[in-house]
Amino acid sequence: MDWKPFLGLPLWVWLFVFPSCLALLCFFSRRWIKPFLSPLWRFLDGIYTGSGIVAACFMVSILVIIVVQMIARWFGMIFHGSTDYAGYAMAATSFFALAHALNRGAHIRVSILLNLNRHTRWWLNLAALYVAAITATYFARFAIKTNYMSEMINDRTQGIDQVPERLLAVVKMFGTAPSQWSELWSSAGSEWVYTPMWLPQIPMSIGTVLLAIALWDNLCRLLVTGENPIKVETVEESEADKNEAFESVPEPLTASDGAQR
């Protein structure tokens, strides 16, 4: 596997070891770390909501594309690449909505084992979130690598959809140094070119990264608060269930406890 070093450490250390260490810190120091994580949680909640809004905008764009295609047919014109544009918008809708849907409990979760034993519910939620976070991190890493590979081999769409070359220059500005912007714009023409595959793949990378962050975030919240932050809006737990779930969370051992034993 290709795990190149980043800032002196292998990439897998940054993606898996450090988040796992943060999760352990949240478990053993849940009381004093919560005030430091609360502002970060509010910021991340805003990011998840924003991604949901972006997903909704792309969903509306699908409707706009269909309406424009219908109008073009009425006037005897052809809307080239409309099917491809709608497919790109649908993919962007799905990936941008991943993190937002996760926190709203919209993802499919098989909870039959969680309902069997209330005392093991916390541990099962913990194991499920950790495995999901590891899997989503792998997915995000290789989604980003797919973007780089598509740009490196200049992979183009197989359809008839085209985009302005200046639009590609605007998007490339976010991945290049400001000193290279003048060269980037000087090489960009005013004509339309076939869509490079890395352009519609960007929402996939952003969405998977947000999903991985949301899963690690929910894992830390579970360890700190003792409650599963993923709640289905139509199902409400009673206060007794919440208190009992929090009481079932194991307390970490302290130095005094170890000395007494």
Name the one residue in this structure whose structure tokens are 């919560």.
34
**What is residue 130's predicted lDDT score, i.e. its pLDDT?**
96
- Say yes or no to pLDDT of 172 above 50: yes
Work out the average pLDDT over 191-220: 95
pTM above 0.75, yes or no: yes
Residue that wins the pLDDT comparison between 214 and 259: 214
pLDDT digits (tens, 9 = 90+) for 44-87: 999 999 999 999 999 999 999 999 999 999 998 888 889 999 99
Whether the CB-CB separation of 193 and 82 falls below 8 Å is answered with no
CA-CA distance, 19 to 134, in Å (whole number)? 10
Work out the average pLDDT over 10-30: 92
Work out the average pLDDT over 109-138: 86
How confident is residue 177, by pLDDT bands cut at 50, 70 and 90? Answer: confident
Cα 173–198–43 angle (5° rounding)? Answer: 65
pLDDT digits (tens, 9 = 90+) for 88-97: 999 999 999 9
Work out the average pLDDT over 131-157: 93
CA-CA distance, 209 to 100, in Å (whole number)? 12
**What is residue 250's predicted lDDT score, i.e. its pLDDT?**
60
- Say yes or no to pLDDT of 226 above 90: no
Residue that wins the pLDDT comparison between 118 and 224: 224
Kindly provide the b/e burial profile for residues 12-30, where b requires at least 16 CB atoms within 10 angstroms of the residue's own CB: eeebbeebeebbeebbeeb
Kindly state the percentage of the chain with pLDDT values over 70. 88
- Say yes or no to pLDDT of 246 above 70: no
Of the ranges 57-66, 102-111, 115-124, the best mean pLDDT one: 57-66
| Torsion angle, alpha carbons of 213, 219, 225, 226, to 10 | 160
